[in-house]
Structure 1
Amino acid sequence: MQATTSSSKAWLKPALAAVLLAGAGLAAYATLNQRSSAPAVTFMSIKGEKISPESLHGKVVMVNFWATSCATCVAEMPQMVETYNKYKSQGLEFVAVAMKDDPPNYVVNYAETRQLPFKVALDVAGDAAKAYGNVAMTPTTFVIDKDGKILKRYVGQPEFPALHKLLEKALQG
Structure 2
Amino acid sequence: MTTTVFSPTRRHWLGLLTASAVLTVAGCSTETPVKLANLTVQDLDGNPVSLGDYAGKPVAITFWATTCPGCVAEIPHMTALYQKFASKGVQVIGLAMSYDELGQLKAMVADKHIPYTVLQDKTGAAAQAFGPVRLTPTFFVLDGKGNIRYQKIGPFDTARVDQLLTELTTG
Which TM-score band (shorter chain)?
0.7 to 0.9
1:118 partnered with 2:119 = no
**SS of equivalent to 1:148:** coil
- Corresponding residue for 1:70? 68
**SS of equivalent to 1:120:** strand
| Structure 1: distance between partners of 2:59 and 2:31 | 15
- Corresponding residue for 2:82? 84
| Structure 2: distance between partners of 1:168 and 1:49 | 32
Range with greater deviation from structure 2 (83-92 or 121-130): 121-130
**SS of equivalent to 1:75:** helix
- Corresponding residue for 1:36? 32
| Structure 1: distance between partners of 2:44 and 2:162 | 27
Change in CA separation of 1:152 and 1:138 when aligned onto 2, cut-off 3 Å: same
- Corresponding residue for 2:104? 106
**SS of equivalent to 1:134:** coil
Structure 2 gaps of 5+ residues are 1-7, 9-27
- Corresponding residue for 1:96? 94
- Corresponding residue for 1:153? 151
Offset of 1:69 from its aligned partner?
Answer: 0.8
Structure of higher RCO (CA pairs closer than 8 Å, 6+ residues apart): 2
Offset of 1:107 from its aligned partner?
Answer: 1.0
**SS of equivalent to 1:85:** helix
How many residues matched? 145
Give the AA of the match of 1:107.
L
Offset of 1:103 from its aligned partner?
Answer: 2.2
**SS of equivalent to 2:75:** helix
| Structure 1: distance between partners of 2:50 and 2:100 | 22
| Structure 2: distance between partners of 1:48 and 1:172 | 35
Moved beyond 2 Å, runs of 4+: 47-54
CA RMSD of aligned residues (A): 2.2
Q: Residues 6-25 of structure 1 correspond to what in structure 2 (within 5 A)?
A: none
Q: Work out the percentage of aligned pairs sharing the same amino acid.
A: 32
| Structure 2: distance between partners of 1:72 and 1:108 | 19
Instruction: Indicate if the aligned counterparts of 1:39 and 1:132 stay in contact, CA closer than 8 A.
Output: no
Offset of 1:123 from its aligned partner?
Answer: 1.4
Offset of 1:71 from its aligned partner?
Answer: 0.6
Change in CA separation of 1:100 and 1:34 when aligned onto 2, cut-off 3 Å: closer
Give the AA of the match of 2:142.
I
